[in-house]
Amino acid sequence: MSLSKYNQKRDFKQTKEPKGKIAKSENELQFVVQKHAASHLHYDFRLELNGVLKSWAIPKGPSMDPEIKRLAMMVEDHPYSYKDFEGSIPEGNYGAGNVIVWDNGTYAPEDVTDTPTKTLNEQLKKGHLSFILKGEKLKGEFSLIKLKGKQENAWLLIKKKDGFSSDIDILKKNKSVISKTTLEAMIKDSAKTSTSKTKKVAEKETAELEKAVFIKPMLAATITEPFEDPEWVFENKYDGYRAIAVLNEDDTKLWSRNKLPFTNNFEAIVKELKKIEHTAVLDGEIVIEDDNGNANFQLLQNYLKTGEGKLKYYVFDLLNLDGNLTTNLILPERKELLRLLLEKYKLSNIIYSEHVKNGLQLYENALKNKSEGIIAKKISSNYVIGKRSNDWLKIKIIQQEEAIIIGITAPKKSRSYFGAVLLAQYYGKSLKFIGKCGTGFTDETLKDLYNTLKPHFTENSPLTENTGLRDTIQWVKPKFVCQVKFSEWTNDKHLRHPVFLGIRTDKKFNEVFMPSTTNKQRNKTVEMEKEDIKENKKGEKNEENDYDVKIGKTTVHLTNQNKIYFPKDGITKGDIVQYYAEVSALILPYLKDRPQSMNRFPNGIDGSSFYQKDVAIDKIPTWLKTKKVYSESNEEYLNYLICNDKQTLLYMANLGCIDINPWNSTIKHIENPDWLVIDIDPAKDNFEEVIRTALTVKEVLDEWETDCYCKTSGATGLHVYIPLGAKYDYDSIKIFSELLAQEIHARIPEITSLERSIKKRNNKIYIDYLQNRRGQTLAAPYSVRPVPGATVSTPLEWNEVTKKLHPSQFTINNVMKRFEKKGDLWQPVLKKGANIKKILQRLENRENH
């Protein structure tokens, strides 16, 4: 029944909301429903219990119809005195907008087993409240039921069948039970006395309270073998167009996964979607099925030309409902809300995509039906917007690929227009030829495709390699993506027996990459690499175990590979070198073009260590890259090593660099860091407090509408990074990081400190924001740390930052399996940066009020 979160979110010098104090009614328990026009219109449903108001935000408002189940998101407790609050919350404050008391009255538990309060507390703990409301508008029996899963705040409000239940829309009774005014009237009155800027916001509140917007879809990783696991469910993989449906009251649109317009292409789907009387964002696949009920991509292609065939939209996820983002709910919760939504309407071609527990059986059925495959989804997964995640896995049966058309061959015999299309995919930044495809065309598609490609003919090949073909080739600018099916990949990475299926208007050519190797293939590659290293040894009996390893055209001389670096664990220098050889593809993007402050441990973690910034150019191999950069601590220009490739990484590991410490900025923009970091540094062994601090960092940044990412330090703490995109200089970032640290400390002063001095911290966690100065370094993601166990600085998903977490869980002996499964979770750190200026302006405005 703490009101600390409520008080922390509000500046009572600006808002007329009551301060958080414990209080209670003298007799019957009170309830209140407040209609609140904040960033989205919603209804706040509050029940008095334990001296506070337990509170739920209901986007669509309560209903008296037992058939209607309303999503209710539990929020922080509010003070008892909040039940009488009406008025305006000023712009710039939490929950800014206008509030009326839409309904109020008393309530009691439906079945009292002890006292009303004890009964309600027991029900709350179980996640199922049953109570009777005696309000002016809401009357009778209701239930609040918590959706099962790790998302703590998702509930459903349901009206039970009784003498008060009705299908009449109770929300049409829209006046306050206290002031008898409507919310719209209050907004107008508020706008009259506000500044012109506030007036525009108020007007926008009434016009766009529940507007849904396009959300970039979550993507699945690929595996080759089906499986079963109690923590996973399985769905059909549909052979069609991925489509995001955005439903607003007067505007329903369909988009491709890349936000290409689908609305006009698939009007039959849009017509049905308009029957759904909710604001929502749906994720699914548009298909046309053949006579056997299997989705057929070629039939869908023909539909776009002829309009023939019955479209179906299989919906498998719900991303927004009634203005409430649902992506943070776990999969079963999202799908249950989706099922409830679609069951309300009789839609002929909008279909809820079922899932099953038996993945192997579903795969067998897909084999029999010759369908494309199945999708595996982790039950505990959230919806990761716009990213490919290992929480969703696609297991294909009929192998299909997207490919870029880069040319055509001259027609032969009786064929017109062209003989075959030349196909390519990106491998890194280069296009790689993957074969030619001459089957799957009709006379009509030959003509249509030729006319489409002709304006983009070019004399220049887009490839850096020779195709080895003897055909006469007409090159085409790489703009068009097609879908092909094929039997298998050849050893030289060409498609065997490809068949043209159609052009993909929903895919961008610069997103078509060669498929990554499977886990089995990748492990095989690692083992081969180990064998290559063994074969390159200068002598099996060499006590120091010196040998050369060739990487590309470069030979790296490795020395003393049997030297013990971690005495308690028996881990050698060679083990560290081998780890960096395996993890190089993951770690190198975060080292590229960054000056390296080398932390060298020539005799392992129990020996003395030293930092080396300056390298002697005349004493290092000529293939190493260095850059003169001014060092403020040394007050001179130093030759920093630049690690852009695997051979340099292994060279550093061979020098005794157990951990890798890059600058926050690159030599391309040395004064502008790519990220801001909060280093959570504990003074004592209490990792639960570290977790709490990290979650507080995220809480603050969520309120500031700024993305952040967490990784273990690999030692005793956690690092939270904010992407910056190199838009601001170090001085600006230092100011911002200090403000952020102060805000974090203000929320949890009992466990944190901003004192650098260990003695002055009083065993509290140090929120280290000074790591954001020019020239400061931290261990890179995927870096080993020089502590017992050879732990690794490991990127995390926020749902992993729990009491179960500890940095010691991740070591060089087990992290590669995790990285294979999770992929590179740190990629967003190098993407678009936070809008620091906007946040600083907002904070400044708050201070000035």
Share of the chain above pLDDT 70, in %: 92
Contacts of 603 (CB under 8 A, 6+ apart): 563, 656
Q: What is the mean pLDDT of residues 79-87?
A: 94
pLDDT digit string (tens) for 283-303? 999 999 988 888 888 889 888
* 282: three-class secondary structure by DSSP: strand
Comparison of pLDDT for 434 and 193, the residue scoring more: 434
Which bin fits 97, alpha (ψ -120 to 50), beta or left (φ > 0)? left
Q: What is the mean pLDDT of residues 440-447?
A: 91
- Nearest residue to 495 via CA among 504, 486, 508: 486
Contacts of 483 (CB under 8 A, 6+ apart): 297, 400, 401, 402, 403, 501, 502, 503, 504
Domain spanning 400-511: CATH superfamily:
Nucleic acid-binding proteins (2.40.50.140)
Least confident of 577-586, 666-675, 680-689, 703-712: 680-689
pLDDT of residue 541: 34
What does the domain layout of the chain look like in residue ranges?
A: 4-193, 219-396, 400-511, 520-654, 675-842
Q: What is the mean pLDDT of residues 111-131?
A: 90
Comparison of pLDDT for 233 and 732, the residue scoring more: 233
Comparison of pLDDT for 761 and 407, the residue scoring more: 407
pLDDT digit string (tens) for 135-158? 999 999 999 998 765 456 788 999
If you write DSSP's letter for every residue of 387-452 in order, what string do you get?
Answer: SEEEEEEEEESS-EEEEEEEEEEPP-TT--S-S-EEEEEEETTEEEEEEEE--S--HHHHHHHHHH
pLDDT of residue 454: 96
* 252: three-class secondary structure by DSSP: strand
Q: With beta carbons less than 8 A apart as the criterion, state whether 514 and 427 touch.
A: yes
Least confident of 26-40, 202-216, 590-604: 202-216
Token representation of residue 381: 């997964």
Above 60 in pLDDT, residue 522?
A: no
Least confident of 358-372, 508-522, 730-744: 508-522
pLDDT digit string (tens) for 252-288? 999 998 888 999 999 999 999 999 989 999 999 999 9
pLDDT digit string (tens) for 638-665? 999 999 999 999 999 999 999 999 999 9
Least confident of 179-188, 212-221, 658-667, 694-703: 179-188
Residue type, 731: D
Mean pLDDT of the chain: 87
If you write DSSP's letter for every residue of 10-26 in order, what string do you get?
Answer: --TTT--SPP------S
pLDDT of residue 424: 95
pTM equals 0.46
Least confident of 46-60, 584-598, 698-712, 749-763: 749-763
Q: How is domain 675-842 classified at the CATH fold level? A: DNA primase, PRIM domain (3.90.920)
Above 70 in pLDDT, residue 521?
A: no
State the CB neighbour count (10 A cutoff) for residue 76.
17
pLDDT of residue 698: 93
Q: What is the mean pLDDT of residues 533-550?
A: 52
pLDDT digit string (tens) for 586-637? 999 999 999 999 999 999 998 888 889 998 888 889 999 999 998 877 778 8
Above 60 in pLDDT, residue 528?
A: no
Burial (CB < 10 A; 0-12, 13-18, 19+), residue 718, is: buried
Q: What is the mean pLDDT of residues 468-476?
A: 92
Above 50 in pLDDT, residue 480?
A: yes
Q: How confident is the model at residue 217 (pLDDT cuts 50, 70, 90)?
A: very high
State the CB neighbour count (10 A cutoff) for residue 320.
21
Above 50 in pLDDT, residue 171?
A: yes
Q: How confident is the model at residue 537 (pLDDT cuts 50, 70, 90)?
A: very low
- Nearest residue to 260 via CA among 290, 221, 304: 304
pLDDT of residue 457: 96
| Fold: same for 219-396 and 400-511 | no
- Nearest residue to 255 via CA among 264, 245, 247, 240: 245
* 78 vs 698: CA distance, rounded Å: 22
Contacts of 173 (CB under 8 A, 6+ apart): 137
Token representation of residue 594: 């960054």
If you write DSSP's letter for every residue of 457-476 in order, what string do you get?
Answer: EESS-S-SS-----S-EEEE
pLDDT digit string (tens) for 353-398? 999 999 999 998 888 887 889 999 999 899 999 888 889 999 988 7
- Nearest residue to 170 via CA among 41, 36, 63: 63
- Nearest residue to 305 via CA among 418, 448, 417: 448
Q: How confident is the model at residue 210 (pLDDT cuts 50, 70, 90)?
A: low
Q: Are strands 752-753 and 765-768 parallel, antiparallel or unpaired?
A: parallel
* 663 vs 773: CA distance, rounded Å: 10
* 659 vs 576: CA distance, rounded Å: 10
Above 50 in pLDDT, residue 108?
A: yes
Q: What is the mean pLDDT of residues 685-689?
A: 85
pLDDT of residue 760: 81
Q: With beta carbons less than 8 A apart as the criterion, state whether 335 and 303 touch.
A: no
Q: With beta carbons less than 8 A apart as the criterion, state whether 383 and 334 touch.
A: yes
pLDDT digit string (tens) for 547-599? 788 888 888 999 888 889 998 888 999 999 999 999 999 999 999 999 999 99
Tell me which residue has tokens 């479209």: 311
Q: With beta carbons less than 8 A apart as the criterion, state whether 282 and 317 touch.
A: yes
What kind of architecture, by CATH, is found in domain 219-396? Answer: 2-Layer Sandwich (3.30)
If you write DSSP's letter for every residue of 506-566 in order, what string do you get?
Answer: TS-GGG-BPPPPPHHHHHHHHHHHHHHHHHTBS-TT-TT--EEEEETTEEEEE--TT-EEE
Above 60 in pLDDT, residue 205?
A: no
If you write DSSP's letter for every residue of 659-723 in order, what string do you get?
Answer: S--BBSS-TTSTTS-SEEEEEEE-SSS-HHHHHHHHHHHHHHHHHTT---EEEE-SSSSEEEEEE
* 75: three-class secondary structure by DSSP: strand
- Nearest residue to 612 via CA among 624, 625, 595: 595
Q: How confident is the model at residue 518 (pLDDT cuts 50, 70, 90)?
A: very low
pLDDT of residue 191: 64
pLDDT of residue 100: 96
Q: Dihedral through CA 753, CA 754, CA 756, CA 760, nearest 10?
A: -40
pLDDT of residue 516: 54
pLDDT of residue 542: 35
